[in-house]
Chain A
């Protein structure tokens, strides 16, 4: 029997008051696939990710992660299924320093989290944490409280926390917005290579078409809450209708 896809969404609907934020969305992400979502602001991309991670509950439709239905589960339960998420607006702990974020995320993914005698900066995870810091070029900021670090670094820290969970599926909401365009490509190159190397399935929302074209296996184009096109980057990005709607 074929293994269940990493994520299956079927006929999702959600509206806020009068606004239909997501209308009849169906989408499948195969295991190990990297899918990009593009679309204008307000198209419902973040709302979709919120539904896939249990923050919002779809009014109708089904979501399965690795074959397991997750509608009605809390974000925590879904995270335990191996789904990690980074946010459009970084959700980090303003008063804490950068390196502790990663230590905490790393501890959260391992047994022994509740052991009160194991320090946060345990030797087992120290290596991983340092590598993550270096990977996202956050090492110079390691001891700074995140309240004061630049927006780009906050976003990277958010992504780094998601990665520290060693997820099976990762959902990244505009991971490179706020990162300078000079660093963007290099960062995404390493990020996507790392994801592929460990077989992590991924969805990322992105506005930079260069990035989409280079790193996505497939692209889903969103227009006003619905999926307008899905296909390979070459096909989709050269479609004149897509250009008209998105660019």
Chain B
């Protein structure tokens, strides 16, 4: 019983780790652009597909398998840098000037939804409908026995890795000039524009950064999951649940919520399998009922 508890918790932490990467990207994009990126799950899926493809290419080319680890990061950055700016510049940017604001929100939701549809089908065209497996990459770093159950070191490493990403992100936001500009735009785009912040550039940058984070989540998760069409749709809803629980735009809160969701999910898989797919949403429901702005979110009151 206790063994199972420990092992479920560890599983939860590892899945929470990749979930955090995706969700924090979603939160970042929302914070700066005020856009809920429905296509975010697709970035995750594309990262995962690309990782699986590169894994099989490495095998085919006879290159050392360990190259997959730096490869995963490179893939994520490449995916984000290629699709992020194109989507933001060409398909989203025009919508920032739509008035009134409530209309703008609907339009932007529809726009990212449309992008999501295009990317989902695009994946089918490019990667086909068969699942990809790159499970071989899991075992390369060996295994560790914790409380009687074997865990791959790769998955265990994901936990500190996400912690490092969180730390880097926080350092970037509070210590660098661009990071502070980003926060300024998130607080108030108009005011920061008058103070000389290049708002447009910041928007493109944060959308790209968010896309990189989502693709990184997908690439890192890819060895542990079967990569199939449809993981993107599930992921966007799941990462929205995380972000809603945390409060939109809360970075550390997103980490807490990811762990909460990850652990709760794997615990239900072990102990209450009927509820496994539903548990994240039940948690979201409960949190939103008690705190409509999320655990760490703050209400912004419009002055009238």
List A residues at the B interface (Cβ < 8 Å).
50, 55-56, 87, 89, 91, 94-95
CA of A55 to CA of B301, assembled, Å = 9
Q: Are A89 and B100 in contact (CB under 8 A)?
A: no
A57 to chain B, nearest CB (A): 11
* Inter-subunit contact A87/B304 (CB<8 Å): yes
A-B contact pairs, 8 of them (CB 8 A): A50-B304, A55-B304, A56-B301, A87-B304, A89-B304, A91-B304, A94-B100, A95-B100
| Bound complex: CA A27 to CA B236 (Å) | 53
Instruction: Beyond A56-B301, A87-B304, A94-B100, list 5 extra A-B contacts (CB 8 Å).
Output: A50-B304, A55-B304, A89-B304, A91-B304, A95-B100
Residues on B with beta carbons closer than 8 Å to the beta carbon of A95: 100
Once bound together, how far apart are the Cα atoms of A50 and B301, in whole Å?
12
Nearest residue (CB) in A for B302 is A55
Contacts of A56 in B (CB 8 A): 301
CA distance A55 to B302 in the complex (A): 10
> In the complex, what distance in Å separates the CA atom of A95 from the CA atom of B99?
11
Q: How far is the CB of B278 from chain A (nearest CB, A)?
A: 32
How many residues belonging to B are interface residues under a CB distance threshold of 8 Å? 3
B286-304 CB contacts (< 8 Å) to partner A? 301, 304
Contacts of A94 in B (CB 8 A): 100
Q: Which residues of A contact B304 (CB under 8 A)?
A: 50, 55, 87, 89, 91
Measured between beta carbons, the chain A residues less than 8 angstroms from B301 are: 56
Bound complex: CA A87 to CA B303 (Å):
11
Bound CA span A195–B100, Å: 35
A87 to B302: give the CA distance in the assembly, Å.
13
User: How far in angstroms is the closest Cβ of chain B from A14?
Assistant: 12
Interface of chain B residues 260 through 304 with chain A (CB within 8 A): 301, 304
Instruction: For the complex formed, measure the closest distance between the CB of B94 and the CB atoms of chain A, giving whole angstroms.
Output: 21
C-alpha gap A18/B301 in the complex (Å): 17
When distances are taken between beta carbons in the complex, the residues of chain B under 8 Å from A55 are 304
Leading 8 A-B pairs by shortest Cβ distance = A87-B304, A91-B304, A55-B304, A94-B100, A89-B304, A50-B304, A95-B100, A56-B301
The answer for the CA separation of A42 and B100 in the assembled complex, in Å, is: 28
CA distance A109 to B63 in the complex (A): 77
| Nearest CB in chain B to that of A88: its residue | B304
Contacts of A91 in B (CB 8 A): 304
Cβ-closest chain B residue relative to A85: B304
Q: Which residue of B lies closest to A47 (CB)?
A: B303
Could you tell me the distance in whole angstroms from the C-beta of A152 to the nearest C-beta in chain B? 19
Report Cα–Cα, A145/B244, bound state, in Å.
Answer: 36
CA gap between A95 and B301 in the complex, in Å: 23
With A and B bound together, what is the CA distance between A87 and B304 in angstroms? 7
- Residues of A within 8 Å of B100, CB to CB, are 94-95
B105 CB to nearest chain A CB (Å): 15
Q: Which residue of B lies closest to A147 (CB)?
A: B100
Closest partner residue, chain B, to A95 (CB atom): B100
Closest to A91 in B: B304
Return B120 CB to nearest CB of chain A, in Å.
Answer: 34
B292 to chain A, nearest CB (A): 14
> Which single residue of chain B is at the shortest CB-CB distance from A75?
B304
Q: Give the residues in chain B near A89, CB-CB below 8 Å.
A: 304
Least Cβ distance of A84 to chain B in Å?
Answer: 15
- The smallest beta-carbon distance between A197 and chain B, in angstroms, is 29
Instruction: Tell me the residues in window 117-163 of chain B with beta carbons closer than 8 Å to chain A beta carbons.
Output: none
* B89 CB, nearest partner CB in chain A, Å: 30
Closest A-chain residue to B99, C-beta based?
A94
- Which residues of B lie under 8 Å from residue A87 when comparing CB positions? 304
Give bound CA distance, A50 to B302, whole Å: 12
Q: How far is the CB of B188 from chain A (nearest CB, A)?
A: 16
In the assembled complex, the CB of B124 is this many whole angstroms from the nearest CB of chain A, namely 40
Q: Complex Cα distance A38/B92, Å?
A: 47
Closest to B100 in A: A94
0/1 interface trace, chain B 196-216, chain A, CB 8 Å (1 if under): 000000000000000000000
Given the complex of chains A and B, what is the CA–CA distance between A73 and B90 in angstroms?
47
In the complex, what's the smallest C-beta–C-beta distance from B300 to chain A, in angstroms?
Answer: 13
Q: What CA separation (Å) do A136 and B244 show in the bound complex?
A: 46
Interface string of B87-107 (1 = CB under 8 A from A): 000000000000010000000
The CA of A89 and the CA of B302, in the complex, are separated in Å by 12
* CA–CA, A95 and B102, complex, Å: 12
- Complex CA gap A173/B304 in Å reads 11
For the complex, give the distance between the alpha carbons of A94 and B101 in Å.
Answer: 12
Q: How far is the CB of B83 from chain A (nearest CB, A)?
A: 36
Inter-chain CA distance A94–B102, complex, in Å, is 12
Question: B123 CB to closest chain A CB, in angstroms?
Answer: 39
Q: How far is the CB of A175 from chain B (nearest CB, A)?
A: 15
CA distance A89 to B100 in the complex (A): 17
